[in-house]
Amino acid sequence: MRTLTFLLLTSLSLHVVAAQPVPADLQPLPAAPTAYDARNDGDEAEVTITKQRTQMVEEYRAGNRLYMIKITPKIGAPYYLVDDRGDGKFARQESLDSGFRPPQWVIKKF
């Protein structure tokens, strides 16, 4: 019974939407501004590696803009300094993992 009611209401709502006239003076929407993403530049990221006595520093640049620094100390876990907002101020992150875990399934194996 619920399925029949759902299908009936869906078909009625689609009929109402389709019956509405389209205004003649429609204008296309302007392109949405996109956030700066270093991967969208077309250029590959340039990595500069500097080895020091106590640590190794990797600087990641895209379009001559420094967006991430990875610091690997001799003893301890590596950490990152990331420019999230593009304002030149770096925030420390212990890993680049956001913690979000979407569900994943195997669809086909070759």
| Domain positions in the chain | 44-93
pLDDT at 35: 60
* pLDDT < 70 regions, the chain: 15-20, 33-43, 94-103
* CA gap 35, 26 in Å, rounded: 27
pLDDT at 88: 79
pLDDT at 6: 85
pLDDT at 74: 92
Candidate CATH numbers 1.10.1740.10, 2.40.30.260, 2.20.130.30, 3.30.470.30; the one for domain 44-93:
2.20.130.30
